[in-house]
Amino acid sequence: MSRVLVTGAASGVGLALARRLTDQGVAVIGVDRAEIPVPLAQTVRLDLTDFAAVRETAATITEPLDGIANVAGVPGTAPAATVLGVNVVGTRVLTEALLPRLAEGGAVVTVASIAAHRNTLAPEALAQLCTVDSAAGLSAWLEEFPLSGSEAYNTSKAALVAWSARLAARLLPRARAVSVSPGPVCTPILADFRTSMGAESIDRAGALVGRHAEPGEVAAAAAFLLGPGASWVNGIDLPVEGGLAAARAHLTESAERTTR
């Protein structure tokens, strides 16, 4: 039986992924700061902003892992330090600590977001963020690059996409790393995104493609990428957004033709 660790397993995409993998016969280690409402092979209560606890928790996981699914994340309604602490630093610290347990042929799948394109910081700043591994280091980074919670969310997702690509290169040829970038998803924190990104923007995205994603649809993509069927999919970011980018491009092209 394969074994996969899933963060953010208490709700939303993480919960949908944990359920899907369990139904497929995978032994799931669910990690969340909240109680996980479904039976899994193992559950771990963990706050990803407590980096010492993250390392301690990783040390207790001694069996080989066939996959690591980084799904946990907080929206831009939270303070910037919390957003970056969970979405980037805690995620990276946990993953790096678990890499020695990752079996040959395994995969790291990290949930980013199409909001990554809203990031305004240079690649060098993102690379610097992806070296932060302590609360003091995060505070120092934020002093150099002060961000609001909403800006930190966009930056966090851009950092995850960049880090995942670099991780893929590092893991070759033993294992894979891929990021997944959803558009708006009907999860408990969708209301937070309406607040931090603007209700009009979220509603407009839903109108363009007909609806928002269901958690299981994003989980299905992540489950595929974790499995052997995706053995030659590596180092990419997979948009899972129902054709939103294509619809926006078509609207732009249509508007340009109209004004000619």
Instruction: Find how far residue 16's CA is from the centre of its chain.
Output: 14
Rounded-to-integer distance, Cα 152 and Cα 217, Å: 26
Number of Cβ within 10 Å of residue 117's Cβ equals 12
| Residues forming the active site | 153
Work out whether the CA dihedral 9, 238, 250, 260 comes out positive or negative: positive
Those residues whose C-beta lies under 8 Å from the C-beta of residue 6, and which sit 6 or more positions away, are: 14, 17, 18, 21, 28, 29, 30, 31, 69, 71
**Nearest Cα residue to 18 out of 167, 35, 229:** 35
Residue type at position 35 = E
